[in-house]
Amino acid sequence: MTHVIGSACIDVKDGACVLCCPVDCIYEGQRTLYIHPDECIDCGVCISACPVQAIYEDRRLPSDQANFLAINKEFFEPQVSGLGAPGGACDIAKPVCDHPVVVAWPVARTPP
Ligand code: F3S
Say yes or no: CB of residue 33 within 6 Å of ligand 1: yes
- Under-70 pLDDT residues of the chain: none
Index of the ligand 1 atom closest to the CA of residue 28: 5
Q: For 70-86, what is each residue's pLDDT tens digit?
A: 999 999 999 999 999 99
Residue 53 CB-density burial (10 A; 0-12 exposed, 13-18 middle, 19+ buried)? exposed
For residue 16, report the distance from its CA to the centre of ligand 1, in Å: 6
Say yes or no: CB of residue 80 within 6 Å of ligand 1: no
Q: For 94-106, what is each residue's pLDDT tens digit?
A: 888 999 999 999 9
Index of the ligand 1 atom closest to the CA of residue 50: 7
For the chain, the structural domain boundaries read: 3-104
pLDDT at 94: 81
Say yes or no: CB of residue 13 within 6 Å of ligand 1: yes
Q: Does CATH number 3.30.70.20 belong to domain 3-104?
A: yes
Residue type, 50: C
Whether the CB-CB separation of 4 and 72 falls below 8 Å is answered with yes
Pocket test for ligand 1, best of 9, 21, 31, 98 (most atoms within 8 A of CB): 9
Residue 42 CB-density burial (10 A; 0-12 exposed, 13-18 middle, 19+ buried)? exposed
The pTM score is 0.94
